[in-house]
Amino acid sequence: MRGCEIFDDPIFMCSLDVEDTELGRSLHQIHDEGTMLAVARILFRGGKGVGRTGILKAVRVARTPVKMQHHAIIVMAMHETIFPMAADPFFLMAGPNVIESEEHIMKMARQIKSVTNQLGLKLIFKSSFDKANRTSAQSFRGPGLEEGLKILEKVKTTFDLPIVTDVHEPYQCEAVGKVADVIQIPAFLCRQTDLLVAAAKTGKVINIKKGQFCASSVMANSAEKVRLAGNPNVMVCERGTMFGYNDLIVDPRNLEWLREANCPVVADITHSLQQPAGRKLDGVGVASGGLRDMIPCIARTCVAIGVDGIFMEVHDNPLKAPVDGPTQWPLRNLEPLLEELIAIAKASKGKEKMDIDLTPVDEDF
C-alpha cells in the first residue's frame, strides 16, 4: 500500500481499514507507476462499528511507500489539506505555552506562520487558556476559558490556522471543541476516562500526551477509549519519562512502541526536556527547570526515527516567559532548527519498517 494525499474541505482525521472501504478497493486498482487520480467514497470506521460516511474528492497516490499498521491509513485534515501519517516530512504543533495577552498571541501566530509557510510545513497553532497544573499556586495560569477561547478564535480566523489547546476537565470540552481543531489531553490526565470521552464526543482530533509515569503500551488503551466513544480522530504524543524525582528522559524506543496505538505519533521536543520542580526559587518554593540547549538533540532523534508530528513551545522572549520559560524554544532560532529537522527527516527512512533477515549467511554473501 502506498501513501496518499487527499484534498477536501472538512477538518477530520480518520483511520481506514483499506480492505473494507471503497477507497481501499480503488487504491488496489491503481498501479505503482506514476501519480494517478481517483475519486473515492470513504466508510469511516472508529472503534467498533461503522461511523460516518464522507466524500473525498481527489486521491493522489504518492510514489513513496509508507509504513502502515494493520492496513490502516491515517489521514489528518487541516483546512483544505488532508495529509497522511507520512506527512512530508512532518506536521508542526507550535506556539507559546500559555496565552499571555491577545497582542502577544497574535504576534506569535503571525511570526510562526511566516516561518512554516516559508519552509512548507503544516502548522497547528498551540497555546493554553489555562495552566491548571502549575507547580505553585502563585504561578501564572492564563486568561481562563472564556477569554482564552475568544483569543484563539481570533487567531484561527485572522491567520487561517488550525488550533490546538488543552483541556483539564470534562465540562470544558464542548466549548473548546467549538474553537479548537485539535483538543489536547495533558500527560497527567492521559488515563482519565471521563475526560477522554468528553473530548472524544466533540468529534475533534484528540492528541493524548503520554504520562511521564506511563509505559508506551498504556497509550493504546487511552486511544481506544477515544475510539470507543465514537471518535476515530486520535493521535498520541511522547513527552518524556520520569527519571528520578526532578528529571525526564526520552526513550527513543517509545516512538516505535507508540505505533501500537495505530494512530499518528507526535514528539513533544520541549516538555521532554523539563526538570519538574527542579529549580529552587528565592525564598520559598520550587519551580520547573529545563534543558533548553538539549532541545535540538531530542528533536533530531525524533525526526530521524520518523515521527508524524513535532510539538514544541516557542517564545519571542523565553527569559521573560511566565510559564515554562526554561523549555520554550527561542523564536529567533525556530527557522534554522526546523530547516535542519526537515533535512534529517527527508534523509531518514524512519517511516519505513526495516525487514530483518535472520537466515544464515553462506560463503557467497
Would you please indicate which residues are annotated as catalytic (active-site) residues? 97, 131, 324
**Cell of residue 154, nine digits:** 481570533
Backbone φ and ψ of 98, nearest 5°: -135, 155
Tell me the C-alpha to C-alpha distance, in Å, between residue 74 and each of 5, 14, 205, 235: 11, 6, 12, 10
Tell me the C-alpha to C-alpha distance, in Å, between residue 174 and each of 77, 127, 169: 20, 18, 11
Q: Based on the number of CB atoms within 10 Å of its own CB, is 107 exposed (0-12), middle (13-18) or buried (19 or more)?
A: middle
> CA gyration radius for the chain?
20
Strands 265-268 and 234-238: parallel
How many Å apart are CA 112 and CA 329, to the nearest integer?
A: 12
**Cell of residue 312, nine digits:** 514544541
